[in-house]
Amino acid sequence: MREKLLKLSRKQKTLTMLVVDLLIVWLALFGAFYLRLGYKDFVPQYFNSFYISGLLASVISLPVFFYLGLYRALLRYMGQHVSFIILRASFLSFLMLSVAITLLEIPVPRSVPVLYWLLSALLLGVSRYGVRFWLRGFRLRDILFAPIKLPQAKSHELRGQPVAVYGAGEAGNQLVEALEHSRAFRPVAFIDDDVRLRGRTIAGCRVFAPDALDRLILQTGAQEVLLAVPSASRQRRREIVRHLETFGLPIKTMPGIQDLASGRARVQEIMEVDIGDVLSRDEVAPIAELVEQDIVDQVVMVTGAGGSIGSEMARQALVRKPKMLVLLEHSEFNLYTIDQELQGTIRTLRLDIPVISVLGSINDPVRLLDVMNTYQVETLYHAAAYKHVPLVQYNVSQGLRNNVMGTLYTAQAAILAGVKQFVLISTDKAVRPTNVMGASKRLAEMVLQALSNEQEIRLFQPELFGSTPGTVIANNTRFTMVRFGNVLGSSGSVIPLFREQIRTGGPVTVTHPEINRYFMTIPEAAQLVIQAGAMGQGGDVFVLDMGDPVKIVDLAKRMISLSGLSLKDEFHPDGDIEIRFSGLRPGEKLYEELLIGDNVEGTIHPRISRAFEELLAWEQLKVVLSEMAESLKEHRYSITRELLLRYVNGYAPSSKVVDWLYRHPGRRAVEDEVS
């Protein structure tokens, strides 16, 4: 019954309400006569008066109800404002009926119209609110007997910034209801694509068509648009955002459906619009067996679990129900943050999965081995890395120690602990790198490639693991590397920087007008990493399809536009935000690549390819790593650079050595400053 009513056309629903209201008018009038006269006097003396009054009330009331908008409000999303409309409509009907009865000299007791007004208002309200709750899934006993929560008193003054909500569906109505108690926003209108809703009133807000935004702004004074379409595809969100941009209003959004479902976010949490809605393409549905293969009912460990990529890996691993999830992170605050979030997800989804949050560094071999042995880790996602190009360029030793030696120590601990699957999160900057960060990630890839080719190994620096030099260790770990570009909103991304620069009035700084980058959303990248890791056979370098590269200056312009501001340049001197070009930083490239050579093949996933790269044998690589460790210890970075030039394919440094300690006046210089 409920579903049949919801599927009726708008005209059918309106006609049904008119019929119900006609019955209510007659019932209210009958009740008024009956209460005033009682059955004994009513039927014999006043039945004709009742009949004529009923015809008058029908002719008067239904047009009044229609005129005042009682049939524009959707019952499922009816707000408290409808009570006021019902009182107005019933009062106006009462006045007009009283005048008609007086003019036509119909013999009716004077108190009957007053009683009719009170009864009609009561019945109209009860019928509408009852149907509203019934259509939203409540049972009759819930409607009749559930305790009523009275709304809090509100200020008579208008509060908050007037906003239009894009999306008049369930999410939009939940958002409006949540904002009723907000001091920041005041919903004044809906925007929706559904032509059947246009002109209707939902929760006190008129519904406008997307192409009527000029009229909406003029009539309501809306100053922002809030997107409430959490289940829309990225393609559709991109179309919506691009259309809204042309009107010059700031655009914000409510959380996505996955965040709401997992408990990571609430409806009323308004956020900056996701730039991924503008740049990214729709995600490809994951291949279930690949997503589950290395996670379901296994002990999963994530290093760098508090970082942007590591935390998303942890989130996606948790909802796929591992036996246990182990988080390793050196930042106490970051570890606490992701631990609290995951515990909230566990409570929301009623999961029974232990989350072990471990403080530790990937440069501590003993700690790594203890953790992996204690919890018998089976799958390890290695996301811990320094990834900020300029910072690593100025801190060569720490960048290489963390990204190369840390990966090496983690991999060796995994072999000793019998970890089955090891997945390294790599980067497009490892391809023909021009900076130390990119070179360090390529060298980390080479470490895993070399280990993958050995069924038995002699550890590098075995004493750090409590092992005897020369001891041969069986290698049963499958190593996989996954390489991709920038992720939107990560800690190293330009997005947070641009957003803060726009917030403070600019200027927005871009290094070069032609610089471009590949971008992908964090959830999509993490999901593809899991699937690529499951396809690994040992030593594989997987490359994710990043789509088309994006010019950073175009990204900056879009973010300025999404903030409801205008670009200030030579053609628009009165604009709000200026873009300034600061010049390329040491080691920075204009263009990034994902492949070193052309030796690449597809996989069963349309967005994952397998690359075949050159590698060094394990014993030879150990010698290189020893020499590098010695050069770092003595801060002889010219030697470090020579080693990278000799062994990292395509490495072409774009700047001289700029390490802070290397340049320190107190440090003895050794033939340096090689361009």
pLDDT in tens, 231-258: 777 778 778 887 887 777 788 876 554 5
Residues 413, 552, single domain; the answer is: yes
Band (pLDDT 50/70/90 cuts) for residue 593 is low
Say whether pLDDT at 334 is over 80.
yes
Provide the number of structural domains found in the chain: 3
> Are 330 and 359 in contact, with CB atoms under 8 Å apart?
yes
Q: Which domain holds residue 498?
A: 293-611
Structural element, H or E, at residue 310:
helix 308-319
Kindly state the average pLDDT of the residues 133-158: 47
Kindly state the average pLDDT of the residues 55-83: 67
Query: CA-to-CA distance for 569 and 554, rounded, in angstroms?
Result: 14
Residues 118, 166, single domain; the answer is: no
Kindly state the average pLDDT of the residues 389-407: 94
Query: CA-to-CA distance for 195 and 193, rounded, in angstroms?
Result: 6
- Note the pLDDT of residue 152: 41
- Note the pLDDT of residue 193: 85
Say whether pLDDT at 351 is over 90.
yes
Structure tokens at 376: 């018998």
Residues 172, 140, single domain; the answer is: no
Say whether pLDDT at 86 is over 80.
no
Does a structural domain hold residue 102? Answer: yes
Top-ranked range on mean pLDDT: pick from 120-134, 311-325, 488-502? 311-325
Q: Which residue has the higher pLDDT, 445 or 275?
A: 445
Question: Between the CA of residue 467 and those of 412, 413, 464, what are the distances in Å?
Answer: 11, 11, 7
Phi-psi region of 506 (alpha: psi -120 to 50; beta: other; left: phi over 0): left
| Chosen domain end from 243, 273, 303 | 273
Band (pLDDT 50/70/90 cuts) for residue 477 is very high
Residues 107, 253, single domain; the answer is: no
Say whether pLDDT at 386 is over 50.
yes
Q: What is the CATH number of the domain that holds 221?
A: 3.40.50.720
Structural element, H or E, at residue 60:
helix 10-67
Give the chain's largest Cα–Cα span: 119
pTM to 2 decimal places: 0.67
Least confident of 12-16, 72-76, 362-366: 72-76
Top-ranked range on mean pLDDT: pick from 258-267, 449-458, 492-501? 449-458
Cis peptide upstream of residue 507 (ω within 30 degrees of 0):
yes
Top-ranked range on mean pLDDT: pick from 52-56, 166-170, 505-509, 661-665? 505-509
Cβ neighbour number for residue 96 with a 10 Å cutoff: 18
- Closest listed residue to residue 391, CA positions, set 651, 642, 586, 592: 586
3-state secondary structure of 382: strand
Band (pLDDT 50/70/90 cuts) for residue 393 is very high
Query: CA-to-CA distance for 566 and 405, rounded, in angstroms?
Result: 47
Residues 416, 269, single domain; the answer is: no
Query: CA-to-CA distance for 219 and 30, rounded, in angstroms?
Result: 42
Query: CA-to-CA distance for 656 and 347, rounded, in angstroms?
Result: 52
Residues 513, 422, single domain; the answer is: yes
Residues 213, 126, single domain; the answer is: no
Q: Any idea what DSSP says for residue 462? A: G
Kindly state the average pLDDT of the residues 141-147: 48
Percent of the chain beyond pLDDT 90? 33
Band (pLDDT 50/70/90 cuts) for residue 100 is confident
Q: Which residue has the tokens 């991709």?
A: 484
Does a structural domain hold residue 287? Answer: no
**Residue 4, burial from CB neighbour count under 10 angstroms (0-12, 13-18, 19+):** exposed
- Note the pLDDT of residue 301: 98
Say whether pLDDT at 259 is over 70.
no
- First CA to last CA across the chain, in angstroms? 78
Does a structural domain hold residue 41? Answer: yes
Return the amino acid letter for 257.
I
Q: Where are the alpha helices (DSSP H) in 536-636?
A: 552-562, 618-633
Question: Between the CA of residue 100 and those of 107, 109, 113, 119, 484, what are the distances in Å?
Answer: 12, 14, 11, 19, 78
- Closest listed residue to residue 251, CA positions, set 276, 234, 227: 227
Does a structural domain hold residue 616? Answer: no
Band (pLDDT 50/70/90 cuts) for residue 8 is low
Q: Which residue has the higher pLDDT, 494 or 225?
A: 225
**Residues in CB range of 335: below 8 A, 6 or more apart:** 305, 306, 327, 329, 357, 358, 359
Does a structural domain hold residue 282? Answer: no
- Closest listed residue to residue 441, CA positions, set 386, 495, 370: 386
Band (pLDDT 50/70/90 cuts) for residue 4 is low
| Chosen domain end from 114, 144, 174 | 144
Kindly state the average pLDDT of the residues 205-218: 86
> Are 234 and 283 in contact, with CB atoms under 8 Å apart?
yes
> Are 164 and 222 in contact, with CB atoms under 8 Å apart?
yes
Band (pLDDT 50/70/90 cuts) for residue 156 is very low
Least confident of 12-21, 510-519, 653-662: 12-21
Structural element, H or E, at residue 452:
helix 436-452
Say whether pLDDT at 500 is over 80.
yes
Residues 33, 175, single domain; the answer is: no
Least confident of 66-75, 403-412, 483-492, 507-516: 66-75
Residues 268, 309, single domain; the answer is: no
Say whether pLDDT at 197 is over 50.
yes
Query: CA-to-CA distance for 653 and 201, rounded, in angstroms?
Result: 63
Q: Which residue has the higher pLDDT, 264 or 32?
A: 32
DSSP 172-236: HHHHHHHHTT-SSEEEEEEE-S-GGGTT-EETTEEEE-GGGHHHHHHHH---EEEE--TTS-HHH
Helix then strand then coil, in percent of the chain rounded to 5, is 50, 15, 35
Query: CA-to-CA distance for 66 and 288, rounded, in angstroms?
Result: 52
**Residues in CB range of 98: below 8 A, 6 or more apart:** 113
Q: Where are the alpha helices (DSSP H) in 322-425?
A: 332-349, 365-375, 389-394, 396-400, 406-417
Kindly state the average pLDDT of the residues 446-466: 95
Kindly state the average pLDDT of the residues 645-673: 70
Query: CA-to-CA distance for 256 and 636, rounded, in angstroms?
Result: 50
- Average pLDDT taken over every residue of the chain: 81
- Note the pLDDT of residue 157: 42
Percent of the chain beyond pLDDT 70? 81
- Note the pLDDT of residue 153: 37
Q: Which residue has the higher pLDDT, 177 or 337?
A: 337
Top-ranked range on mean pLDDT: pick from 459-473, 566-580, 650-664? 459-473
Band (pLDDT 50/70/90 cuts) for residue 159 is low
Count CA atoms closer than 13 A to 15's CA, side-chain side: 6
Query: What is the sign of the dihedral through the CA atoms of 35, 37, 40 and 43?
Result: negative
> Are 306 and 334 in contact, with CB atoms under 8 Å apart?
yes
Kindly state the average pLDDT of the residues 589-598: 66
- Note the pLDDT of residue 270: 59
Question: Between the CA of residue 110 and those of 29, 89, 101, 114, 310, what are the distances in Å?
Answer: 13, 20, 10, 8, 76
**What is the b/e burial string over 149-173, where b = at least 16 CB atoms within 10 angstroms of the residue's CB?**
eeeeeeeeeeeeebbbbbbbbebbb
Residues 374, 469, single domain; the answer is: yes
Kindly state the average pLDDT of the residues 613-639: 92
Residues constituting the chain: 675
Say whether pLDDT at 385 is over 80.
yes
Does a structural domain hold residue 356? Answer: yes
DSSP 505-562: T-PEEES-TT-EE-EEEHHHHHHHHHHHHHH--SSEEEEE---S-EEHHHHHHHHHHH
Query: CA-to-CA distance for 47 and 49, rounded, in angstroms?
Result: 5
Say whether pLDDT at 475 is over 90.
yes
Kindly state the average pLDDT of the residues 314-337: 96
Does a structural domain hold residue 651? Answer: no
Cα R_g (the chain), whole angstroms: 34
Kindly state the average pLDDT of the residues 195-216: 83
Band (pLDDT 50/70/90 cuts) for residue 675 is very low
Specify which residues 610 forms β-bridges with. 542, 601
Does a structural domain hold residue 189? Answer: yes
| Chosen domain end from 611, 626, 647 | 611
Residues 44, 139, single domain; the answer is: yes
Q: Which residue has the higher pLDDT, 219 or 32?
A: 219
- Note the pLDDT of residue 131: 67
Residues 559, 607, single domain; the answer is: yes
Band (pLDDT 50/70/90 cuts) for residue 674 is very low
Kindly state the average pLDDT of the residues 482-502: 78
Q: Which residue has the tokens 């203890």?
A: 370
Query: CA-to-CA distance for 322 and 379, rounded, in angstroms?
Result: 10
